[in-house]
Structure 1
Amino acid sequence: MDPKLTGNDYVQETKASDGEVEPSKRNSITGDVFVHDNGADTDLRRILSTRHLTMIALGSSIGMGLWLGSGTSLIKGGPAGIFLGYCLSGAMIWAVAHSIGEMAVMYPLPSAFVQWTGKFVDPSAAFALGWAYYFSFAITIANELAAANTIISFWTDKVPVAAWITIWWAVLILVNVGAVTIFGEVEVVCSAIKFSWIFVVIISLIVVSAGGGPNHESVGFRYWNDTPFTNGFKGFLSVMPTCIFAMAGSENAGLVAAETLNPRKSVPRAVGSIWLRLALFYLLGSLMVTINVSPFDEDLFGGVGTNASPFVVAYRNAGIPALAHMMNAIILLSVISCGSISIYAGARTAMGLAYLGMAPKQFKKADKLGRPWWALIPIVVIGGGLGYLNVNNSGAKVFGWLSNLTSLFTLAGWGMICLSHIRFRYAWKLQGREVSELPWKSWTYPYAAWFGFIMCVVLIIVQFYLAVWPLGGTATAESFFANYISIPVLLVLWGGAKVYYRGRRWVDLSTVDLDYGRRFYHDELDKEKGQKKGVKGVAYKTLGAIFN
């Protein structure tokens, strides 16, 4: 195995005369011994650390969905509606994260859940999911570019929209054309800033709500008492697409695992930190909005005023313009960060599709720094091109179109992650393997996996209901397809792939090669080899002692 595939600090393999794989080198950074990945090798370089993965997991989904989208959700659902929406979507991503954790430690592959779907569910479903997610990442890039223009308009509207889109598009390109470590460090810095700022937001808005702002107006839970739900139960349902869109990207930790030094250490820490992100960013963050901003404020994003973030509106109404400007700057940073991650994730998804034989084989290639140029350039061009939709339409309108499309793709992805986890565990048991052999086990299985899968199906049905009977209007063919086109696209992709690839309806779990694409860790190797008898058993125990 070429050392450049995994980084110079990673183990190479040698074949012993008896055909067994022997570890030949210890990782100088982590001290662990790794062996051949048995099909998981790519041109990507495993040089991202636990710090990178943890911070990317913490901050990857903190973007316009929370900072800006909370405004449209507050208008549609009211204070109680938006808070309950984040509670429900937060419970879902918590469940999905545990499925990701167990699978990513075992199979850290370039496109993660796309390849897991092909391995354990159905190759045609993997084709549909992979290409849908690819375009979802492109849509997200466009949405973040549109959001950047909306944020800038808080300060000035003298510069043409197309110029701002071009400027921020260039910034996203620069972050991604450097080495993978540059991308990792940029995201660590951005995540650290976002994570630190949320403490400022929570503390300051509690003070403002209690009357500690310059205007000395005590708000408390006034808006909860006056209008907890602005549009009843349908209003609550209508906030779910924005809440799902806000949390979309949390699954990217599974993609980053393919380029980390040691997924068994990095991934569980990232999964373990999910509660912190959910509690601090989404639940407390949305609660601060609901106790400080009226759902009828015209300046909210999605309203008829300046279309500002509800957090910015809260500070401005309280008479603290300095914090309003700082908040707007943090939002801009968050938007650019999420756009950068979407380019990264889109390129890796295309790469994974190529390894499944479902994309041009050139997408497999990466240069010596781990940059997959063939997969990277198309996602940059498509995402940036879609961003110019914002030139002739309002930011809130474009946001509504694109977030609805993205949320449905996200629900399909989350559902497939949970289903892949369920079927992986069933295959593991069916082939006579013990749960104790797993390198990392989620304590939530099977309840969280089933909860996540069922809720994804339910919310896809809810989206259909909202597309047919939209909030505050009558359905038209144009509005229906604008809100629900994602599902027909998925079905067409799946049907076309099923006809082209043929084969079984489902993967036969009794014949799945559970070791192909798997990364082995040294203690697992010792355990397996220690079970052998005779001279070989002694030799393997000796090797285990040497490398421990």
Structure 2
Amino acid sequence: MTLDIEKKVQAVDVDDVRSGEVQDVSSGTAHLQRRLGGKEVQLFAIGGAIGTSIFVTMGTYLPKSGPAGLLIGYTLWCMNVWCVNECFAEMSIYAPVPSSFITTTSYWVDEALAFAQSWAFFLCQAFLVPAEITALHILLTFWTDKMPVEATVLIVLAIYGVLNCIDTALFGKAEFWLSIAKVFLVFLFFAFTFFTMVGWNPLGDAYGFRYWNNPGAFSEYLTTGSLGAFWGTISVMTFASFSVCGPEYISSVVGETKSPRRILPSCFASFKYRMLIFFVGSALCIGIVVPYNDPSLAAFIAGSATGSGTSKASPYVIAMERMNIPGLPHLVNAIMITSLLSCGNGVLFAASRALFVMGQAGRAPGIFGRTTKRGIPIYSVAMCLLLGLLALMGLSDTAFTVLKYFIDLCTVCAQFNYMCVCITYMHFYWNLEAKGIDRDTLPYKARFQPYASYVGAVAAVVAMVALGFDVVAPLDVKWFFIDYTLLGVFPVMYGVVKVVKKTKYVRVGTADLGLGGMVKEVDDYEDVVVHEPEGGVERLFSGLWEWGDLVRWMRRLKVED
């Protein structure tokens, strides 16, 4: 039994839609409005993915794996997330409604599974808010250790409240500029790595791939020899299952995206390039600039670093100070802070929208399904801000330990959501076949299907089970419960809802592929809306610039001269 969980949007005049005065038609959920353009969605996808994992915590896994293990682990996991991305893409572009990947689970698989999935996604995003604040406080300690944790938490939450409670358009503009700062910083790190490794540094030291030879390409974790190198690479993959993300952020805003059928295909199609550049590229650079046995990095991980400078979890800052580069560490640290602000802002947006849809669907208290007249889910935003206060745990534990708590909790939630998305895609694929619908007629046809969904689902299960492989023998009770409690909670949620609400599994061939008329609403909207032209920024970040664009640009410059 599926639930009619979304209220239909009131009818609007077609001329108003064409003129752009009405942008919320076919939003799929009452009162949410389509105000995000192509560049905002592209940069939101980038902003949600680039944050703590790349700038701070990726380096903490270098001592376990070594540079080669770090690069291999990230590359392998990125290949898996590409498979998951293809599942998100085809379904979200076909049905661009709020929290589309959860709504489709309800209609095409089972409302009980959608209930557990919605809580998994919400908790993942909600736990990321205090995680980003904790990481931001770590960066502040680069200048001083006198800044109270309470002050950092309250100031950052106040900023998030302003950006998320006033207007969706304001959120989009803020995310646009903050995400540009992230992209700039990533390429600054790449340039720093290249120029310093060839000798362009104050020491004149062309260190190249020195640290791949001494102390070595692989570290040893848990045991020695080749088996130790293997476990080190596995540990990287468990962390990559937390840090490599992105398609869920695009899917979380499809219901508020202008012209979704035009904008979304390039957003999803370019995801593979973003993974290659931002995640694999960062893993390569981090293994170049510092050795895996660096004492500053080890002190931060152990929690023994004290005083200002304890933010040296970033390998780039460590390398800059080692090379006596004045000023640059301060600039980089400042930009990293704005980047973490952007990431926290993005995940709070995603969490509040997920809770909003849960409130309307009866998966959370109904008050969370209410909005202001301007379409802001104010109560959902307020709850997510309150959960951000969990960052105050840093008062009693070391910052890195608190960060690790949130990372492990988010990993289970994220992989459970990925598993559900892949299962839902399988049912979508099988229902299309059963109903005789050619996938070539869909707005977007994903590659490698249905095999990509099989790979994604299996990998998600393995990631959840293997998350605490290094705390089992010998058994660390605290970390065992942190790593595996939610893995037991979500199936219990599914079973309770199954019994209490008496939901039924949607048999293949009987699913409502129209989602109760919402897909038709999107079709009608796309037929009448006047698409805004694709801008240069959107084309750049969607990976669609071609050599022809460059040639035409050069010719125009020549003519103007």
Q: Do the aligned residues in 1 keep the contact of 2:259 with 2:526 (CA within 8 Å)?
A: no
| Residue 465 to residue 439, structure 1, CA distance change in 2 (3 Å) | same
The equivalent of 1:310 in structure 2 is 315
Deviation at 1:85, TM superposition (A): 1.9
Q: Do the aligned residues in 2 keep the contact of 1:439 with 1:524 (CA within 8 Å)?
A: no
**In structure 2, C-alpha distance between the alignment counterparts of 1:436 and 1:486, rounded to whole Å:** 39
The equivalent of 1:406 in structure 2 is 410
The equivalent of 2:325 in structure 1 is 320
Deviation at 1:299, TM superposition (A): 1.9
**In structure 2, C-alpha distance between the alignment counterparts of 1:281 and 1:464, rounded to whole Å:** 26
The equivalent of 1:397 in structure 2 is 401
**In structure 2, C-alpha distance between the alignment counterparts of 1:133 and 1:190, rounded to whole Å:** 24
Deviation at 1:46, TM superposition (A): 0.6
CA RMSD of aligned residues (A): 2.5
The equivalent of 1:49 in structure 2 is 37
Q: 1:244 aligns with which of 227, 241, 245?
A: 241
The equivalent of 2:218 in structure 1 is 229
Deviation at 1:390, TM superposition (A): 1.0
Deviation at 1:424, TM superposition (A): 0.8
Q: Do the aligned residues in 2 keep the contact of 1:12 with 1:36 (CA within 8 Å)?
A: yes
Equivalences for 1:488-507 in 2 at 5 Å? 488-504=488-504, 506-507=505-506
Q: 2:499 is aligned with what amino acid?
A: V
Please tell me whether residue 332 in structure 1 is matched to residue 332 in structure 2. no
Deviation at 1:289, TM superposition (A): 0.9
Deviates more, 1:43-52 or 1:194-203: 194-203
**In structure 1, C-alpha distance between the alignment counterparts of 2:183 and 2:95, rounded to whole Å:** 29
The equivalent of 1:521 in structure 2 is 523
The equivalent of 1:485 in structure 2 is 485
TM-score by length of 1: 0.86
Q: Do the aligned residues in 2 keep the contact of 1:11 with 1:27 (CA within 8 Å)?
A: no
| Residue 525 to residue 335, structure 1, CA distance change in 2 (3 Å) | closer
The equivalent of 1:188 in structure 2 is 176
SS of the aligned residue for 2:461 comes to helix
Deviation at 1:374, TM superposition (A): 2.2
Q: Do the aligned residues in 2 keep the contact of 1:405 with 1:486 (CA within 8 Å)?
A: yes
**In structure 1, C-alpha distance between the alignment counterparts of 2:358 and 2:403, rounded to whole Å:** 28
Please tell me whether residue 362 in structure 1 is matched to residue 363 in structure 2. no
SS of the aligned residue for 2:205 comes to coil
Q: 1:179 aligns with which of 160, 164, 167?
A: 167
Q: Do the aligned residues in 1 keep the contact of 2:95 with 2:522 (CA within 8 Å)?
A: no
The equivalent of 2:153 in structure 1 is 165
**In structure 2, C-alpha distance between the alignment counterparts of 1:79 and 1:36, rounded to whole Å:** 50
Deviation at 1:36, TM superposition (A): 6.9
Deviation at 1:291, TM superposition (A): 0.7
Deviates more, 1:256-265 or 1:232-241: 232-241
The equivalent of 2:425 in structure 1 is 421
Deviation at 1:251, TM superposition (A): 1.2
Q: Do the aligned residues in 2 keep the contact of 1:437 with 1:524 (CA within 8 Å)?
A: no
**In structure 2, C-alpha distance between the alignment counterparts of 1:351 and 1:241, rounded to whole Å:** 30
**In structure 2, C-alpha distance between the alignment counterparts of 1:224 and 1:246, rounded to whole Å:** 24
TM-score by length of 2: 0.84
**In structure 2, C-alpha distance between the alignment counterparts of 1:27 and 1:312, rounded to whole Å:** 51
Q: Deviations over 1:327-379 (max 9, x none)?
A: 21121112111111121111111122233321222322212222001222111
Please tell me whether residue 508 in structure 1 is matched to residue 511 in structure 2. no
**In structure 2, C-alpha distance between the alignment counterparts of 1:40 and 1:110, rounded to whole Å:** 6
Deviation at 1:307, TM superposition (A): 4.2
SS of the aligned residue for 2:327 comes to helix
| Residue 297 to residue 146, structure 1, CA distance change in 2 (3 Å) | same
Deviation at 1:524, TM superposition (A): 8.9
The equivalent of 1:146 in structure 2 is 134
| Residue 295 to residue 284, structure 1, CA distance change in 2 (3 Å) | same
Q: 1:466 aligns with which of 470, 489, 498?
A: 470
The equivalent of 2:75 in structure 1 is 87
Structure 1 gaps of 5+ residues are 14-22, 527-548
The equivalent of 2:442 in structure 1 is 438
Please tell me whether residue 344 in structure 1 is matched to residue 344 in structure 2. no
**In structure 2, C-alpha distance between the alignment counterparts of 1:132 and 1:350, rounded to whole Å:** 11
**In structure 1, C-alpha distance between the alignment counterparts of 2:125 and 2:118, rounded to whole Å:** 11
SS of the aligned residue for 1:433 comes to coil
**In structure 1, C-alpha distance between the alignment counterparts of 2:477 and 2:239, rounded to whole Å:** 22
**In structure 1, C-alpha distance between the alignment counterparts of 2:334 and 2:116, rounded to whole Å:** 37
Q: Do the aligned residues in 2 keep the contact of 1:61 with 1:250 (CA within 8 Å)?
A: no
**In structure 1, C-alpha distance between the alignment counterparts of 2:525 and 2:444, rounded to whole Å:** 12
